[in-house]
Amino acid sequence: MRVVIQRVTHASVTIEKKCKSAIEKGLLVFIGIEEKDGTEDIEWLCKKIANIRIFDDEYGVMNKSILDIDGNILVISQFTLHASTKKGNRPSYIKAAKHDISIPLYKEFCEKLSVTIGKEIGTGEFGADMKVELLNDGPVTICMDTKNKE
């Protein structure tokens, strides 16, 4: 699994001109799933996301986690995180998992992350044409891939 995490002052996702989810201060998490991903990847990512210290403490040092600030999370599925640009100018998405694999893993990830932070998270809609709006705070953007844990 690959994620791009952005620290935001606010973020929202709109589908067919209707706001599906919106958050204030917290994290916007884009997630890409590949066929080799599973529950172990979900558990590792949820712990990392919940505990990564990228929010400022009272001294302006990034020393607090989403749990410390009681922030919010919005999760958006994004198969394009697995784009391969090695050949030609049109990206290949062959590594991205098909719907029968990725939808259950996406749902499991969202449920586990919600339990991990102890509150409901916002989500997009898997496979929908989504409009994501955000104000990146910092800017702070972190990329993680469960295939590169060590």
- Check if 6 is active-site: no
Is 109 a catalytic site residue? Answer: no
- Under DSSP, is residue 97 helix (H, G, I), strand (E, B) or coil? coil
Tokens representing 119? Answer: 């509150």
Of the residues 6, 30, 55, 78, only one is catalytic, namely 78
Consecutive H or E run containing 133: strand 130-145
Task: Give the active site residue among 9, 39, 80, 141.
Answer: 80
The verdict on whether 146 is a catalytic residue reads no
Alpha-carbon distance 25 to 96, whole Å? 30
* DSSP tag of 118: T
Distance CA 49, CA 54 (A): 10
Query: Nearest Cα to 2, choosing from 128, 143, 150?
Result: 143
Show which residues are catalytic: 78-80
